Structures are given as C-alpha cells and as structure tokens.
Amino acid sequence: MDMSTVEILQYNFNLVKGATNDFSDDNKLGEGGFGAVYKGELGDGQGIAVKRLAKDSGQGDHEFMNEVLLVAKLQHRNLVRLLGFSMEGSERLLIYEFMPNASLDQFIFDPTKCALLDWEKRYKIIKGIAKGLLYLHEDSRLMIIHRDLKASNILLDAELNAKIADFGMARWFKPEETQGDTSQIVGTYGYMAPEYAMHGQFSVKSDVFSYGVLVLEMITGQKNRCFRYEERMEDLLSFAWKSWQDGTAMKMIDPILKMGSHSLHDIIRSIHIGLLCVQEKVVERPTMASIILMLNGISTVTLPVPSEPAFFMGVSEPQVPLLHEHSLTMSSSGLGRAKISKSINYVSISEIVPR
C-alpha cells in the first residue's frame, strides 16, 4: 500500500466529527443502506458529506484502506468524488465532496421542485449519467459495475451536473472479466435487471437496464415502482412499451416538460433509448458507448427497433414489505425468498474479482 497516498486521504476522526457537529441530527442529510450521511464543513470552508458506515461490517483496517484507495482513484466529472476516509476503533467514515443540490429523486418526484428541472436540464443530466457510467464500464483502469443505479444515487452539483454516487456496491473487475454471478444480490427493487434480480447474473448490461429505468422516470416524472396514469396504477415499463407500440409515446411525457418541437424530438428519442436499455434480451441492450452516440443524435446512428422489455415488475412482485426506498438483498434462488436488508455492509465493495 502506498503510504503517502494513505496519508493524503486519511482525515483525523475528531476533526471530521467536529465538522459535522458531532454527527448531529441537524447535519443529517439522509440515511442509506450503508449508514447515515452528514453534512460538514472543513476548516478551509470546503463542504463535505460524511458517510458514517454501519458498525457491523467486521472489515479490517487494511482492507478498508485498500478499498478507499481504489475508489478515490476513480475520478470523472460525472462521479461524486471520494475525498478520503477516517477511522477510529470500529468507526469508519467516508468523506465525499458535498453536492449542494442533493439527489435527483428529490427533484423529479417532487410536485414543486420538478419544475426546476426543465427538459434541457434533464437532458444534460441524462447525458452526464451516461458519461459517468461509460467511464465506470470502459474507461477507468478497472471495469466497474455500479449495480445500484437509481435516482437517489444521482447527486447534483451547483450547476445541476449529474454525479453518480454510492460506489459501495460496485464491484471491480479485471478488464477481460465482464460478467459475474453472485448469490448476494444487492440492488433496488424497480431498477434491477431481471437476470440479476432472479439469477444473480450481473454485467454492464444490468447497469444499462437500470439506466433505462432512470431515463424513463426522468421523462415521466414518476417512479417505476408506483407509476400512475389516469388514476390507475400501471407498470412504467409495460406502459412505456404499450404507448410506444401504439404510437402514443407523447402521453407518457411529464406535463411539466413544456416542449418546443426541438425538445420533443429529443424526448421521443430518449424514450426510444430508454426502451432499448430495458429490453428483456441482455445482448440487445446497447452499451453505454452506443447510448452516448444515440443521445448525441449522430445522424449516422439509426436506432434499432426495441423489442419487448422485461416486465419484471409486473410478474414478480415480491411478497415482502418494502422499507422506504431501501435496497434488498435476496438469495439467488429467486424472489420467493427475498428478504429486505437495511444494513448491507461495505464488505461488498472489496470484491475485486467476480466469482
């Protein structure tokens, strides 16, 4: 381990504790599957978000530091930057740059704040997420599959640039290894590709699936998990697919997105791209590299006709109550044995080589 890098990344525990007012409730930004997140300010005025990891991970200091070093090396304008870490006893803190506009879900699903994100801004975010994912999938030194891409994991900076957060569940791969099988499924209901949710198979294409759900949510302004149309509960993917087939895709667009003809073209194209991402057949889903070409509307790129999406939501509603927006962990034997886990520990970030 490169000790000089460790020194640069390691923050004094008491300093961080003080910066968050002793992890006070007033400073609490939210709580995720890994623990609570607190706002803080360092002596030089820099805003930070401190993730205080749940204490039951049992991970050694050395392993923890190794993981932090790996994550800190990932730098891209569409990824939330990990500034460093702090440890004391069983306490483990991750220190991130602070994102003043919080997460995307707090805009697009909020009846008032949704108006702050017009189509231009949403389109910029859709493109930004695609660039961040492409970096994770193809351009960083290691291949990374996020595995829990969703609206609450997209943070927004002061200029509303999209920054992908929560690499806690990402896995690192050697470049030639692009697929994995796991019995520990960690993701969020509504965004998980069916082959991952049901058989534990994950690949860059399971991230592409989640990206497609996210794009469709940004256009409709509704959550995949509780989509409504004319007072009826529907399944977002089935609804999008049916509307597309019927030539009535317009009716799924969030009315708040007032459209000129130029943006309408981009919105319809984005619905098309979203549908390509959520196709049932994994091989038919485009890669992030082709998605970026499609989004940029390169005229030589003709979009393929989408095939049927996976109606995962419709057929396999888990028979368990869902706790908030939280991630679920289930055995690879299927949804019947799904169980909710609120305290997924960060051991999963250390899995560098897939099984």
Q: How far is the CB of 102 from ligand ATP (least distance, A)?
A: 4
Q: Does 102 bind ligand ATP (CB under 6 A)?
A: yes
Which of 65, 70, 80, 83 touches ligand ATP (CB under 6 A)?
80
Which of 9, 16, 19, 29 touches ligand ATP (CB under 6 A)?
29
Q: Do 108 and 114 meet the contact criterion of CB atoms below 8 Å apart?
A: yes
227 φ/ψ angles, rounded to the nearest 5 degrees: -75, 140
Q: Does 223 bind ligand ATP (CB under 6 A)?
A: no
Q: Is 281 annotated as a binding residue?
A: no
Q: Do 129 and 291 meet the contact criterion of CB atoms below 8 Å apart?
A: no
Q: Which stretch binds ligand ATP (CB under 6 A): 99-107, 203-211, 246-254, 263-271?
A: 99-107
Q: Find, among 67, 119, 347, 312, the residue nearest to 198 by Cα.
A: 312
Q: Give the amino acid at 212.
A: G
Which of 34, 64, 167, 244 touches ligand ATP (CB under 6 A)?
34
Q: Does 153 bind ligand ATP (CB under 6 A)?
A: yes
Closest-approach residue to ligand ATP (CB)? 32
Which of 20, 57, 103, 270 touches ligand ATP (CB under 6 A)?
103
Spatial separation of the C-alpha atoms in residues 345 and 57, rounded to whole Å: 5
Question: Strands 91-97, 82-88: parallel, antiparallel or unpaired by DSSP?
Answer: antiparallel
Site for ligand ATP in 119-148 (CB under 6 A): 148
Q: Do 165 and 51 meet the contact criterion of CB atoms below 8 Å apart?
A: no
Spatial separation of the C-alpha atoms in residues 342 and 65, rounded to whole Å: 24
Check the CA dihedral 174-179-184-190 and report its sign: positive
Neighbours of 299 (CB within 10 A): 6
Spatial separation of the C-alpha atoms in residues 303 and 293, rounded to whole Å: 10
Which of 108, 143, 166, 205 touches ligand ATP (CB under 6 A)?
166
Which of 20, 222, 327, 329 touches ligand ATP (CB under 6 A)?
327
Any idea which residues carry the catalytic annotation? Answer: 148
* Minimum CB distance to ligand ATP smaller for 166 or for 217: 166
Q: Which stretch binds ligand ATP (CB under 6 A): 1-9, 24-32, 119-127, 255-263?
A: 24-32
Rg (CA), the chain: 20
Q: How far is the CB of 292 from ligand ATP (least distance, A)?
A: 24
Q: Does 84 bind ligand ATP (CB under 6 A)?
A: no
Tokens, residue 73: 């090396």
325 Rama sector, left if φ>0, alpha if ψ -120 to 50, beta otherwise: alpha
Q: Does 189 bind ligand ATP (CB under 6 A)?
A: no
Binding residues: 51
Binding residues for ATP: 51
Which residues bind to ligand ATP, rule: CB under 6 A?
29-30, 32-34, 37, 49, 51, 80, 96, 98-99, 102-103, 148, 152-153, 155, 165-166, 326-327
